[in-house]
Structure 1
């Protein structure tokens, strides 16, 4: 058996040029952690990246590890179609890959803590305080903390308590005449996490450290043999129709049977803070049903979310040193701020590029539509919106102004369910027609349709975007938003909303491309078209900008394109299951990942060049969940000026040598050497560009984007040097 045959054993797919989704994600999250180690970044921004890394890892265990554990229970012989591993083999490799990340996080955290202390921001340890400070902390503990604590011993009359997901506890092994006894103290959420000491600078203690310091006094005559801070992570993926599963369709049906057989929210990880305490760990693992390999030791705090609170305490002078300089998005130069938006977008297509440009033109458009007597209706899909949403308020105003307002509110937006329910009720009370998704399919599309009567005829203004209608994340995420009065797109949007209202999933449209009915089919057809062009000696090229790519059919077709000689350039922030530069399989494929100040969130599909060039912006990553089990929209860019702008964005990002990394054939990432024009940070470039400040060198590529893409592949295609 050859090496390749051995690698492909156990699966019908060629896995020589693919990697496991979970390992790819862990490599991406390591990239996030590496940002915390970047000396050029302000100190508190670096600490935020460490907190984001930890939060990402929490969700990974809650969603992905939880779902794979379920899969292992359901079908021990099922294999991943990109690695050939069973669920148990995936778990084994995940546990092995995560362990060193804790060590890396601890090293970075304590380096940053030391540097922040020098800058006047100090996390204090109780035992190192002065006598008077210890007394101050004790008074605070006895007055404000102790009254809300619920310490408990575990014995015949006090059963082992339910340890809530991602809640902090101080766990103790108590000394008794008959041996050891377990005690536990929940860290209350009702008490502020940080206690600030008086004096120069910002000096604080963590609540769990304070409770741990006085835990010995809470259990009567018991002595304390061991104590540590612990946290349990539980399986939060309780919906088998949801996004966590990226396997065959029939999995959902079988999964429903599993849900009836197992207790929901089963533990998937135990974390301990400080030195390992063997007796406590063994006790907790026994009670929680966890194996030793599911226990992770952290020297740094288990919950780093408190770092975002430190920003609020900073004096203005320190903010300039410890945080990014403030950035204010500009109003789109395609629109006159002094004129109403509605008549302007009736005249020309407009493309907004968040966060470099403000979301305000779109919000103004909806507000104008709410009050304009010529507007007949507003239809919109909402997935994640801000708790204080101007957009939702404008929809309420439109309904109160007797407009026909239809809102498809997706209630299954993970971790935003309660917020969406509350807004749905508010919108419904105002008179909006609210639809709650489609059974078995998440509605993830970003589409808004405004219908109006203009000079005796009905006209449509359609907005299609890559990101959510969330004013807060529009300042943090990099997204594209198209506003167009194109008649065909408007008719498609009207038909799309009509189909949603009757749960019809098989709609086909003239310009818009929808999932699950036609998106994958269209993408595969357009890839085939580029292969055909290359075989006929015509210029060909493919470029995708995505958050993730896991769809096996798309990956295989991109490999076919590569083998045909089509240059394929991928900008994939997160999960990327296709490996670039594999000889004979993907040697014409390159993969870039950009992790920076803003979260790269836009999805762009680009095919060909010249007059045959086709560009779509989309709500969908090329993942099986998006292409087959979600309602998504891809919208074509028809205006040539807007096409050139998107190609410019892709070109600059492909040449990012500061925040960009290139993927190697083994799935790891490598820094990119600076080009002839010096280092290029694409996000910094666009901030300069939109502020009309002279930007770092990033000339338009000679010969256009396709020529740039061909040069890019020629230089980096093997990715092996």
Structure 2
């Protein structure tokens, strides 16, 4: 498909991050959340440069050599656009941060610089530095070093210029890594009654520069923050003598040497040290050299101290009504399908299901996929308990989950030490499907049950990621999950199993093909003058072939309604397209992460929840799974939640070619904020079920 019919995915992604920035700038959002959205925007941008900008640069270096990449037609043009947009967003970011600080002052919360300290606070900071910080810093006099020291990708540094008042020529440069991970970025200061004063760790260091460098006799110090973002791609070599784990470990070591793709610095930084750093890092003005304010690494602001008046939020997770009045989740799932909607429903039901299996003497095996796990994973604890209770446990642990590679290597070691069989994936293909199958033998019968989810098995992110999870004992679904695990256990020799899946739509074998057939069916119905509709909810829509099929459907008269959180590469500006399509993005307190597809199918609607976005990487280069939802009550529940989202006129933005992120028009309409309405919808179902149970 011609690129002119598509918006560049990276430009579209920046438009998504602009929506995150809109939330930070929204005065109706509580202050703590506004600061958190600044942190999310900053973290998103870091990953964008580490992955996407780095990839575009690799494309330029490759030239006509395609390799494994899906080359953009003009990566340099896209990089040029990125540079302009990023600078615009940085200016808007700074404006919003200034506004937030004014609002913080109204709440008597102040971020204090080293120049604003009272004598009492200065004494506190000096003592705090001596007790907590000094042992965690290693100042480097960089001019005397033959090579530029290794700069960590996620750290911030103080570039220090030392001078003597007795001589204008006597100066030295030094670097200090700010040890935010070891010490914490925010330090609460002694404060006047009713006020909260906070200082950043880099400012604590600034106060103590004369102490740090007392040996050299300098009496004037300038110190400004900078950070370097590096190419984070892990190259897996083809050395057959090296194990896959060793290749991942080598790739992680090599990531440390990744080329810089962005340099952010305080615009007040001394010109001499700025030029010196750029030269030593082999950066030129053509690179992403981005001036900013005093503060960088805003990602830490996602964990800003809880110093604001508490924001009332009654939306705490609750147990699914069918699981409330039962001793065992297992007993319910063996009788009927249950759909959990996170973060509205409690993730504890998943943990309970696994804990029950771990203790059930009739359970023989547990097989599960894991992509991103919580740092203190209750899922892992339940699986380890199962092994200790004599169960066979198989975990497909994706070691290439980006930025979780090190954590998953550690989990591999923990699990294997306990006797868990750890699978490490498929060559050149990530395993992204969210699957679990539990097998038990009861009354001489083999029973199987488990779940298919749109989100990770991570109890921490399940509190903020909006996902769906089907708990089921459906035989055809379990048969397909069995087939997938047989393939994962022997991917080089057992491809026949994954190809034989009949109920689940599975990538990379046939999900794309079956989705296209379902779209073609809607096109056929529309051309016959019959009702034809497609509902699509994904995080990203950038696959050219799938977009082409949607264009065909829209032109044929199929009504296509889409909720796309992030990348949206379709062009839907022509009027003849617009009348048959609605495309929105919802950015709110929770991260919309679920994937849902509904085909009208001549009135016999087909429903799917999926782990896969509509991107080339998901449909062609990952093991993904979509499960059909056949229970009529669950179908209605999914459709109701989608309709609530399409009615959102508070947090929904229109997606179109302008990428202006205009909010859906709210004039003369009751305000509908879909995440609140969804919570109330599900909570009312819980209350209604409780009333029925009580009577």
In the alignment, which of 262, 270, 274 is matched to residue 263 of structure 2? 270
Q: Is the 8 A contact 2:148 2:281 kept in 1?
A: no
For structure 1, which segment, 87-96 or 673-682, has the greater mean C-alpha deviation from structure 2 after superposition?
Answer: 673-682
| 1:507 partnered with 2:535 | no
| 1:188 partnered with 2:179 | yes
Superposed, 1:50-129 pairs within 5 Å as 50-75=38-63, 85-129=73-117
* 1:491–1:485 Cα change, 3 Å: same
Residue ranges of structure 1 left out of the alignment (5+ in a row): 1-12, 242-257, 696-721
Superposed, 1:116-515 pairs within 5 Å as 116-142=104-130, 144-156=132-144, 159-175=147-163, 181-189=172-180, 190-199=182-191, 200=193, 201-215=195-209, 218-219=212-213, 220-222=216-218, 227-239=223-235, 264-275=257-268, 277-293=270-286, 294-312=288-306, 314=307, 318-320=308-310, 323=311, 325-503=313-491, 504-505=494-495, 507-515=499-507
Instruction: Report the CA distance between 1:432 and its aligned residue.
Output: 2.1
Instruction: Report the CA distance between 1:193 and its aligned residue.
Output: 2.4
Residue ranges of structure 2 left out of the alignment (5+ in a row): 238-250, 688-695
In the alignment, which of 597, 600, 604 is matched to residue 596 of structure 2? 604
* 1:126–1:76 Cα change, 3 Å: farther
For structure 1, which segment, 376-385 or 330-339, has the greater mean C-alpha deviation from structure 2 after superposition?
Answer: 330-339
State the match for 1:591 in structure 2. Answer: 583
Q: Deviations over 1:362-393 (max 9, x none)?
A: 22222222222332221111111112222222
For structure 1, which segment, 101-110 or 452-461, has the greater mean C-alpha deviation from structure 2 after superposition?
Answer: 452-461
State how far apart, in whole Å, the 1-side matches of 2:45 and 2:658 are.
Answer: 22
* 1:259–1:95 Cα change, 3 Å: farther
* 1:579–1:451 Cα change, 3 Å: same
* 1:586–1:631 Cα change, 3 Å: farther
1:596 is paired with a residue of what secondary structure? coil
State how far apart, in whole Å, the 1-side matches of 2:133 and 2:386 are.
Answer: 48
* 1:411–1:319 Cα change, 3 Å: farther
* 1:263–1:289 Cα change, 3 Å: farther
* 1:85–1:209 Cα change, 3 Å: farther
State how far apart, in whole Å, the 1-side matches of 2:502 and 2:534 are.
Answer: 22
Q: Is the 8 A contact 2:224 2:294 kept in 1?
A: no
State the match for 2:647 in structure 1. Answer: 655
Q: Deviations over 1:298-318 (max 9, x none)?
A: 225102244344445x3xxx4
State the match for 2:508 in structure 1. Answer: 516
Q: Is the 8 A contact 1:547 1:575 kept in 2?
A: yes
Q: State the TM-score, normalized to the length of structure 1.
A: 0.86
1:439 is paired with a residue of what secondary structure? coil
For structure 1, which segment, 441-450 or 131-140, has the greater mean C-alpha deviation from structure 2 after superposition?
Answer: 131-140
* 1:665–1:144 Cα change, 3 Å: closer
State how far apart, in whole Å, the 2-side matches of 1:157 and 1:417 are.
Answer: 32
* 1:82–1:585 Cα change, 3 Å: farther
Q: Deviations over 1:385-443 (max 9, x none)?
A: 11222222221122222222211111111222232223222322332221111111111
State how far apart, in whole Å, the 2-side matches of 1:330 and 1:262 are.
Answer: 42
Instruction: Report the CA distance between 1:164 and its aligned residue.
Output: 1.9
State how far apart, in whole Å, the 2-side matches of 1:392 and 1:150 are.
Answer: 37
State how far apart, in whole Å, the 2-side matches of 1:677 and 1:694 are.
Answer: 28
Q: Deviations over 1:609-642 (max 9, x none)?
A: 5642111100110111100111100100011111
Q: Is the 8 A contact 2:90 2:292 kept in 1?
A: yes
Q: Deviations over 1:640-696 (max 9, x none)?
A: 11111111111110111111111123333211112765110000112222333999x
Q: Is the 8 A contact 1:110 1:300 kept in 2?
A: no
* 1:216–1:89 Cα change, 3 Å: farther
Q: Deviations over 1:120-174 (max 9, x none)?
A: 3211122122344334433444554345433233335554322221322111344
Q: Deviations over 1:344-373 (max 9, x none)?
A: 212211111111111222222222222223
State how far apart, in whole Å, the 2-side matches of 1:130 and 1:671 are.
Answer: 45
State the match for 1:708 in structure 2. Answer: none
